[in-house]
Amino acid sequence: MNREEKLEFAHALAELGVDIIEAGFPIASPGDFESVREIANQVRGPEICGLARCNDADIDRAWDALRSASNPRIHVFLATSAIHREFKLKMTPDQIIERAIAGVRRARGYCPNIEFSPEDAARTEIDFLCQVVEAVIREGATTVNIPDTVGYATPTHMGNVIRQLVNRVPNIDKAVIAIHCHNDLGLAVANSLAAVENGAGQIECTINGIGERAGNCALEEVVMAMRVRSDYYHCDTRINSQLLVPTSRLLCKLTGLQVQRNKAIVGRNAFAHESGIHQDGMLKEPRTYEIMRPEDVGLQKTDLVLGKHSGRAALADRIRSLGYELNAEEVLAIFNEFKLLADRKKEVSDSDIVGLIEQQLPETGEEEWSLVDYTANLRCGNRPHVTVTLQRGGLRETADSVIGDGPVDAAFGAIEKITGVTLNCKEFSIKATTIGINASAEASIEVEHQGHEYRGQAVAMDSLEATIKAILNATNRAVAGNKREAVKR
């Protein structure tokens, strides 16, 4: 991320409720220095931390970047494992302790909030690790961070390391034990939670688990693990969990790195159910197959994915959500066709279901309004004008040009002016149906009308035409829904 992107994300992290933001490594580059300095200047709430090796130049540079922070922290680190001592640093254990003490002492000369990390702690001999931790706390380190730098540890191993520090370091009560786990074996979250069980009070983690190589411990996973299993962990964070998904999506936008569909908490499938048994249970009582609510992490609702494993209950529920009121016999007829279609397609879309409904029940597919023509005046710097001509029962009606905030907004206004049907747009998307500049556009919308939700979908070579037809498709469903309600009354 560049400086502007880092600053935007730091504000999002502050709003999320993180305790500390490690904003960067100031000596690494002029850009990193400027990013840390701007975050220190502007972001309030969390402690702002800068990373430094145990040498004077790094520590001085970190403080130059952090000095305007309301609560600055300097994080110094030095490798301690035998393999790092021998091959990277070429230093003896005594020299490591001497250098670590000197680094903490210099950092303490700038601010009282000092974190020290013995890099590759998970592979460091436990006796030596205890010596280093005791020495840096005695020198003034207020946080000692225990990194599993290469993702080597297991939960039992990591729990034992933390437990031994708690039991063997005489001044351990003078500092917070932190944990920093990498995910090379897919154990970063498990190792971090094991550390918490044994006395760690701080977890170093990242949104979406991004980080070096296979990444770091995922913030959203440890937050929700401690919250859902508070009966076991007996601790919590001050994270606003309803911002987890929005923050995750912001990071995806800024970095271009998308999370996998089955990523815990924030993945597209995290609250999606396709199995018919699961869907039936979800419709009866969501807690049968969900241990947390999608609303708790910032999603609107559970997604019952319709595929070959889905049952009749899920299909009937989706039919109702699309605005159709069908009896059991009609649902059964559509369900039989749905199963045949699901065998050919991995996932059955709402437009597929509407097609099945209209194929089985032609009368429900009658259109109240159809598109005859439209014109659009779109010019950079001017608000767009859209004029629409619709037909109903052989009669044509044209709406005067409607000015909107954008062409979609203007199209909504023009159609509403003719039909008298007011729609509240909840979701709108448009995508190419094929590859290349001649691809057709597929527009999909979800709207609310008089307490009911309706969907509209259409395909056309022109994206605005597809949008207008999708709006009209939803409008016709809303009109049909009104008629059904009137019949019931």
- Res 114 pLDDT > 50: yes
CA neighbor of 228 nearest in space, from 218, 241, 216: 241
394-405 average pLDDT score: 76
Class level of CATH domain 3-255: alpha beta
- DSSP state letter for 218: B
Query: What pLDDT is attached to residue 138?
Result: 98
222-249 average pLDDT score: 95
335 vs 271: CA distance, rounded Å: 24
The amino acid present at 348, given as its one-letter code, is V
* 486 confidence band (pLDDT: 50, 70, 90): low
pLDDT digit string (tens) for 411-450? 899 999 999 999 999 888 888 765 566 666 888 888 888 8
Q: How far is CA 353 from the centre of its chain?
A: 29
Q: How far is CA 313 from the centre of its chain?
A: 30
Query: What pLDDT is attached to residue 298?
Result: 85
Lowest mean pLDDT among 22-31, 176-185, 389-398, 480-489: 480-489
Residue where the block lists tokens 């009911």: 452
CATH of 370-488, one of 3.30.160.270, 3.40.50.360, 3.40.1160.10, 3.30.530.20: 3.30.160.270
Structure tokens at 415: 């159609």
Which residues make up the CATH 3.30.160.270 domain(s) of the chain?
Answer: 370-488
pLDDT digit string (tens) for 282-333? 778 878 877 888 888 887 666 666 777 788 888 888 788 776 778 888 888 8
354-372 average pLDDT score: 68
Spatial contact of 106 and 141, defined as CB atoms under 8 Å apart: no
CA neighbor of 81 nearest in space, from 150, 174, 175: 150
Name the average pLDDT for the chain. 89
Structure tokens at 311: 């049952």
Which helix (DSSP H) or strand (DSSP E) does residue 277 occupy? Answer: helix 276-284
